[in-house]
Amino acid sequence: MLSPHARAYAHLPGGHQEAWADAFANICRDVYRAVVDGAAPADGPGASAMATFEDGYRAACVVDAVLHSHRQGGVWTDVRSTR
């Protein structure tokens, strides 16, 4: 019942819970495959689980917004306003 892309990340039969170790192994597999293939991570439906520079940047913007909110007494802070 899984798409071919999702099936590559499922190692147990349907109904079985997969754990952190499986997720970590999937990410490592994507990183190793990208290194061997000399390819950057893909975007879109066939994308790997590997984070990109853009993913890291967006995560850093969220952290900056959290810190800004804290400094302002816990007010709601738009993520874009901290750039």
Q: How many residues does the chain have?
A: 83
pLDDT tens readout for residues 21-76:
777 888 888 888 878 888 776 655 556 677 778 888 989 999 999 999 999 999 99
Tokens of 28: 């490592």
Cα separation, 7 vs 14, whole angstroms: 10
* pLDDT (0 to 100) of residue 60: 93
Tokens of 53: 């520079």
DSSP sequence for the chain: ---HHHHTT--S-TTPPP-HHHHHHHHHHHHHHHHHHT-PPPPSTT--SPPPHHHHHHHHHHHHHHHHHHHTTS----GGGG-
Inform me whether the pLDDT recorded for 4 exceeds 70: yes
**pTM of structure:** 0.54
Q: What is the mean pLDDT of residues 78-83?
A: 68
